[in-house]
A and B are shown apart, each in its own frame.
Chain A
Amino acid sequence: MLAGATALSLLVFGLLLLAFLRRGREGRTSPTVWIGGLGVAMPIAVLLALVGYALMLGERIVAPGVSGTVVIDATGRQWSWEFSHRVGDGTPATHNELHLPAGRPVVLRIAAVDVIHSFWVPRLAGKMDAIPGHVNLLRIEAAQPGIYEGQCAEFCGSGHSGHLFRVIAHDEAGWVAFQRGERQ
């Protein structure tokens, strides 16, 4: 993506430079090439490629379809997050602390009880709205064990700036311990 953006930028800068250097000379390139080719056809081709990539990425984020995936309910309210881990018997719901296994896909079922919030862990995935009366799915995966900061990304009232949570990604042993109820 970065390489493509760099190549296109260099092409545009190069053409601009060429226009300055050859100012005043008779051009042999027809306006059709400039306007129809570089002004219309090229942006359409680039944007279509980006739309295709975005659709594929979107499908990967929202469509679970993987057996053995961990499913966790994430519920936003003014101004806290409740996470209900559907693993083991008696695993308690946690507040503002989402526990998950590292290196495995996790599907979050995101909802809200009062106003619209938005679930966002910048290092793990894009934003997903938490809407009262509606469940949105988000697939995330933490590559490494560790702590990842998260925050509400939709203004949800006077406590919005403090509507924070953290994601604790466990290694296998830590995840087994969490499922047994052994909180660290």
Chain B
Amino acid sequence: MRLLARISAGLILWAFGFSLLYALQGTGCAYGWEDASLFGTTMLRWILVATWLLLVAACLTLLRLTRAASSDFERRVTLATVLAGAGTMLITGSPVALTSACA
């Protein structure tokens, strides 16, 4: 069970992160966070971008799971899934910095 948890942790964190960004975007638009200016942009933009960057960093911290691997195969699979999760988090979250939030 722990083996399964370790090798799927990167992808599970990405799934959680994507859902969190989705929920924050909808909630922020509904509550008008887009209308509140903060340091040159909107409060919603700051919240979304900060959350996205924290999620990418969190995905990368999972790399230490590879040290706990008991076999070479497990280490390689864990490394691949963690990097896939971090890369996917970086790409699928990037629209929070690049596109209109509440159009």
Contact = CB atoms under 8 A, between A and B. Distances in A.
Nearest to A136: B103
A58 B99 CA distance: 9
Contacts of A59: 99-100
B91 interface: yes
Interface string A48-76: 10010001001100110000000000000
A62 B100 CA distance: 8
A59 B91 CA distance: 17
Nearest to A59: B99
A51 B98 CA distance: 12
A175 to B, nearest CB: 26
A137 interface: yes
B82 to A, nearest CB: 16
Interface residues of B, number: 6
A127 to B, nearest CB: 16
A67 B95 CA distance: 25
B91 A55 contact: no
Q: Which of B91, B99, B103 has the most CB of A within 10 A?
A: B103
Contact of B99 (A48, A55, A137): A55
A70 B90 CA distance: 37
Interface string B75-103: 00000000000000001000100111001
Contact of B100 (A48, A51, A63): A63
13 contacts: A48-B91, A51-B91, A55-B95, A55-B98, A55-B99, A58-B99, A59-B99, A59-B100, A62-B100, A62-B103, A63-B100, A63-B103, A137-B103
Interface of A: 48, 51, 55, 58-59, 62-63, 137
